[in-house]
Amino acid sequence: MFIKKLYITAIAVFSLATATAQQTTASVEKSLFNVQAGAIGIWASHEARLSNKWALRTEIGLDLWSYETYSYNTAGETRKGSVLVPSIAIEPRWYYNIQKRADKGRYSANNSSNFLTLAIKYYPDLFVVGGPDNLKVRDQICFIPKWGIRRAIAQSDFNYELGIGVGPVLYLEKNSYYRSISDVALDLHPRIGYTFK
């Protein structure tokens, strides 16, 4: 009788331990370095874990901008094109379905999850790559709420991100004309990259 009770108790403890082991908590990575490129730029970033679902991303890169210039010396001739502009960004990311993906047995390493974020991007008037010599970028900060997805490619350290957001632009120049302009920034986010741990 004693051995039967001991056997039943051992099975119950083993079953409970197995169930607890299977219910692990998914979490964003403690630290990730990323290099990404896309049709609209190239970036290097770092993500640091703040909690199981939150990471703080810092990023530097070159964003693709389009421009249009007017020449008053040649009867209003216009010139259009694209340039690369330096950017510095910080964004708290909420990887809101990382636990759900893990519970379904889907790959969630390297922060493979959907995310919501508020990207704060600074565009300094330092330089532009391409375009006319006299082309300048106004010092500005964009505040862009954004939704996106991040996935590892074939469970490797290669990844892709897709996302979109729209937000206001704040010009930092002292010129009162620029301060009176209110612009909106559109952030399209198609990227492919590699993660270093």
Q: Which domain holds residue 49?
A: 32-196
3-state helix, strand, coil in the chain (%, to 5): 20, 55, 30
When pLDDT is cut at 50, 70 and 90, the band that residue 128 belongs to is confident
* Residue 84 forms part of a structural domain: yes
* Residue 12 forms part of a structural domain: no
Looking at the structure of the chain, the number of domains it has is: 1
Confidence at residue 82, expressed as pLDDT on a 0 to 100 scale: 84
* Residue 95 forms part of a structural domain: yes
* Residue 9 forms part of a structural domain: no
Confidence at residue 17, expressed as pLDDT on a 0 to 100 scale: 45
Q: Model-level pTM?
A: 0.79
When pLDDT is cut at 50, 70 and 90, the band that residue 136 belongs to is confident
Least confident among 62-66, 148-152, 162-166: 62-66
* Residue 13 forms part of a structural domain: no
* Residue 1 forms part of a structural domain: no
* Residue 63 forms part of a structural domain: yes
CB atoms within 10 A of CB 164: 13
* Residue 15 forms part of a structural domain: no
